[in-house]
Every structure is written in structure tokens, then in C-alpha cells.
Amino acid sequence: MSILLDHCVPHRYLRLLKAWGYPVSLLREHTRPDAPDLDVIHLAKRLDAVLLTVDSDFANVIDYPPQDYPGIVILRYRPEQEDAVTAALEVALRDLYRDGLRGVFGHCDGGPLPRPASGLRNSMCWAIRRSGAPGGQAVESRGQAVKE
């Protein structure tokens, strides 16, 4: 399993992921950067790669059911929160990388979110959804990734 960085992810994450020891590639190494989202997620699946993106379109678990993909991780934050989000990403990948990320939707952001209808929310860290659980069980974590 590897990590595929969407074209919208800041380039510093390529350096960080490599420094953390993960096999990582850029979307543009495989297809054009403006490829439709459906092509991007199918590429990630074909590569057996977790998709790391800032594109919130991938948060739609109806269009992109987590159980159908190697993993989807969305980063959402303001520039002043980048260090905290990066630290949360490092912990989550360390705890969940490999098969722990299969079928997982991860959302890492810089602050509290209102609780959406799905029940998922997070605060400076992770909300992880395993669609195989009844009702798509949500797990919340502050500062560390949680395995079910």
C-alpha cells in the first residue's frame, strides 16, 4: 500500500511522507492534475494507494464509499493550524497505515466542526468511519488515531 497525493495537497507533504518512510507518489506522475475526481479515486484504487487530498468532494461517502477504496484522508485547515494537523496526520498514519486504513475515511482539520447529519465530527484531529460497521460507526479522537 502506498499514498497518492492529490494535486491540491501542499508539496511539503510529499517531503514529510517520504521522511516518515512512506511510499508516496504524486497524482501528476500518473495522470493530469485536473483529472475528474472519479478518475482520481479509481487511480488510487488501481495503485492500492490511500488518497491524501484537500478536496472535500471526497468526503461524500455516498459517492465515494470508504469500504470500496484503500483509504481516503482529507486535510482541511487554516495555514496557522498546519503544524497541528501535520502532527495528527503523522500519528494517524503510524497507527493506521497498512490494512488499518482500508475502508477508512479520515478527516483531519484545524478546529471544531459542527456535527453533520452523519454524526461525524472532529476537533483538531480525526474522525474515522468504517463503513462496514452498523450505520457507518464513527470514532472520534483528539490528537491520536483510533482503531476500532
Q: What is the 3-state secondary structure (H, E, C) of 82-108?
A: HHHHHHHHHHHHHHHCHHHHCCEEEEE
Asked if residue 147 belongs to a domain, the reply is: no
Quote the CA–CA distance of 43 and 60 in Å, as a whole number. 18
Mean model confidence pLDDT for the chain: 74
User: Is the CB of residue 122 less than 8 Å from the CB of residue 92?
Assistant: no
Asked if residue 19 belongs to a domain, the reply is: yes
Number of domains the chain contains = 1
Asked if residue 148 belongs to a domain, the reply is: no
Asked if residue 146 belongs to a domain, the reply is: no
Domain of residue 101: give its range: 2-141
pTM of the model: 0.74
Asked if residue 78 belongs to a domain, the reply is: yes
Question: pLDDT of 87-126, one tens digit each?
Answer: 878 877 777 665 566 666 666 665 544 344 343 333 334 4
Asked if residue 32 belongs to a domain, the reply is: yes
